[in-house]
Amino acid sequence: MSSQYAVDDIRSQLAPTAPVATVDPSTPIKPSQWIEFLTREPTEVTARGSRTWNARSATLVISYTQARKGDTLDRIGQPDEYALLQYSASARVRVTAGGSSAQVEEPSFVVVPPGDSSLEALSDGVIIRVFSTRAADLRANVLNADAYIEPDARAAVLGEWPDPIGGFRLRVYRLADHPLREGRFGRIFRTTNVMVNFLAEEPGPRDEHRLSPHHHDDFEQISLAVRGDFVHHIRYPWGPDSTQWRPDESRRIATPSICIIPPPTIHTTQGVGEYQQLIDIFSPPRVDFSASGWVVNAADYPAPAGRGIPDGN
């Protein structure tokens, strides 16, 4: 199988991986989803005025909150761990979970263990959480519930990767401790149920001559735009049933927003703003990225045995 990427794109080095399951080519392809949070009514508003928008993919719930200082976001009996994505516009927070507490005041990837937890906003700002769809209360309270009345038969199921080394506990990974570097694609973190890539912040529009169209056989990509403006380009493959064919899409989307890109569409994203930042989210974690050695916390989060993935970086 030839690479989908230009030879100077580091992803051209990825080893091809087989899809988890063979899908009949007549299986319908889900439409993409485009959700600009601030143009929708929030799914929750607290007494202090914090506003939260929840949206889901096949396996995840993305929770975007404009938090007010002093507010708390609690989870009681959370069935599995979840992630907190902190970037330059995020609120400063105090996270309490699993008998531990941490104050997070700079861009970070935070893993919150199962069970009870609390996030206290120490300033006004954004709080972004990523949950699995095992959280039934969140799964039921999303902006796009109708999109998953029928499951996506082409998307990989959630599954479960091995427990973290040392057990489930509160973990804070400061992005400053994992700077972008040559030979690694972005800053990729993994948990038992999600993979997150903090891509480079871009100070100008992306070169229209250097885009990277590619596809994924069997998993969705959630592109979370937190700064700037983007055009997502999506091309739908043709199956044997011409009545199911969909036209190409090239649509501009503002931030904050998510675009949920279904398998196996060909896609690429083009930043068109003066300054932009994109965070890509995958669930279950990607085997190819894991096998590349690019996951910066792989020593804490092992991969399944027998997948050709190194134990750590």
Distances (CA, A) of 99 to 116, 117, 131: 10, 9, 20
Cα-based torsion angle of the residue sequence 40, 46, 50, 56 in order, rounded to the nearest 10 degrees:
-50
Return the CATH number of the domain spanning residue range 28-291. Answer: 2.60.120.10
Nearest CA to 95 among 125, 122, 69?
122
Q: Which residue has the higher pLDDT, 176 or 8?
A: 176
pLDDT tier for residue 313 given thresholds of 50, 70 and 90:
very low
Question: Two tokens at 114?
Answer: 């199962």
Percent of the chain surpassing pLDDT 70 = 92
Residue 155 to residue 144: CA distance in whole angstroms: 17
Residue 298 to residue 311: CA distance in whole angstroms: 7
Asked if the model's pLDDT at residue 11 lies above 80, the reply is no
Contact by Cβ (8 Å): 295, 65: no
pTM for the full model?
A: 0.93
Write out pLDDT tens, residues 143-167.
999 999 999 999 999 988 999 999 9
pLDDT at 305: 80
Sheet containing strand 33-36, strands side by side:
33-36, 257-261, 221-227, 277-282, 195-198, 187-190
Asked if the model's pLDDT at residue 3 lies above 70, the reply is no
Write out pLDDT tens, residues 101-113.
999 999 999 999 9
The residue type found at 154 is R
Domain spans, the chain: 28-291
Residue 81 to residue 306: CA distance in whole angstroms: 24
The residue type found at 264 is P
Tokens 């508003």, residue? 45
Residue 68 to residue 120: CA distance in whole angstroms: 10
Contact by Cβ (8 Å): 275, 227: yes
Residue 39 to residue 257: CA distance in whole angstroms: 10
Write out pLDDT tens, residues 273-309.
899 999 999 999 999 999 888 999 999 999 998 655 6
